[in-house]
């Protein structure tokens, strides 16, 4: 049985960036059930908005997963929740496959979501999107929200009354903003308590914090 997970976006001509909620060594990965599998079975599909359009035995082959060295070592479970995917062959850009650039923080963000539509619930076969505002770290860390669990490597986005959020199946998806006609990557879907609940916004990996690490990994390839 094949399952499909949204893992992120290509940044310029660099490896894919994604959130890695469960992972081990760079050459191997754990599935949701805890089963260990080799990265060579992973496939990246781009330019597709519906799962029915995915053709068997196609997609870009993953050559290597580069985990952040502090992921899982750090005492906070979801901290440093980022990795790079190196593909065996470059992606071909087109009208439906484009690069996303790195960004500083913007007030209003436009994340593409493709996971469950309800919690608990079933995922959508068609790629979804939602507009959500950033929430300040001070508010997100307050006693009525995440009670100090938000680190400098994280950011929060969503609405105080819930209703719109990332959900199961969105992990690793992109939080992007449109800046003068250019899409910029701000965050990566990481974690949260339930989905779209009041005072429980989505928590994202703050990509800007990791730019030096990303450039170092790319430069070392």
Q: Which residues contact 74 (CB under 8 A, 6 or more apart)?
A: 80
User: What distance in Å separates the CA atoms of residue 63 and residue 61, rounded to the nearest whole number?
Assistant: 6
Q: Which of 19, 29, 174, 190 is catalytic?
A: 29
Q: Which of 79, 81, 165, 170 is catalytic?
A: 81
**Does 119 qualify as catalytic in the annotation?**
no
**Does 29 qualify as catalytic in the annotation?**
yes
User: What distance in Å separates the CA atoms of residue 114 and residue 34, rounded to the nearest whole number?
Assistant: 22
**DSSP label at 139?**
H
**Does 81 qualify as catalytic in the annotation?**
yes
Q: Are 17 and 8 in contact (CB under 8 A)?
A: yes
Q: Which of 19, 114, 171, 190 is catalytic?
A: 171
**DSSP label at 52?**
G
CA distances from 41 to 2, 8, 159, 171 (A): 10, 17, 37, 19
Element (H, E) at 183: strand 182-191
**DSSP label at 41?**
G
**DSSP label at 90?**
P
Q: Are 18 and 8 in contact (CB under 8 A)?
A: yes
Q: Are 43 and 62 in contact (CB under 8 A)?
A: yes
User: What distance in Å separates the CA atoms of residue 186 and residue 202, rounded to the nearest whole number?
Assistant: 14
Residue numbers annotated as active site: 29, 81, 171
């Amino acid at each position: 049985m094949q399952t499909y997970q949204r893992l992120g976006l290509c940044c310029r001509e660099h490896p894919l960036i994604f959130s890695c909620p469960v992972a081990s060594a760079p050459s191997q990965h754990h599935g949701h059930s805890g089963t260990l599998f080799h990265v060579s079975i992973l496939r990246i599909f781009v330019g597709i908005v519906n799962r029915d359009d995915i053709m068997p035995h196609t997609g870009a082959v993953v050559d290597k997963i580069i985990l952040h060295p502090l992921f899982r070592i750090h005492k906070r479970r979801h901290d440093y929740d980022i990795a790079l995917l190196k593909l065996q062959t470059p992606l071909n850009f087109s009208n439906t496959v484009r690069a996303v650039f790195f960004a500083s923080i913007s007030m209003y963000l436009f994340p593409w979501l493709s996971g469950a539509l309800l919690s608990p619930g079933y995922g959508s076969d068609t790629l979804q999107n939602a507009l959500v505002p950033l929430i300040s770290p001070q508010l997100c860390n307050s006693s009525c929200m995440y009670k100090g669990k938000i680190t400098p490597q994280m950011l929060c986005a969503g609405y105080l009354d819930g209703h719109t959020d990332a959900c199961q199946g969105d992990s690793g998806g992109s939080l992007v903003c449109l800046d003068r006609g250019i899409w910029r990557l701000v965050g990566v879907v990481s974690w949260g308590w339930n989905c779209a609940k009041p005072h429980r916004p989505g928590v994202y990996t703050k990509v800007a914090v990791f730019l030096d690490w990303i450039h170092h990994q790319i430069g070392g390839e």
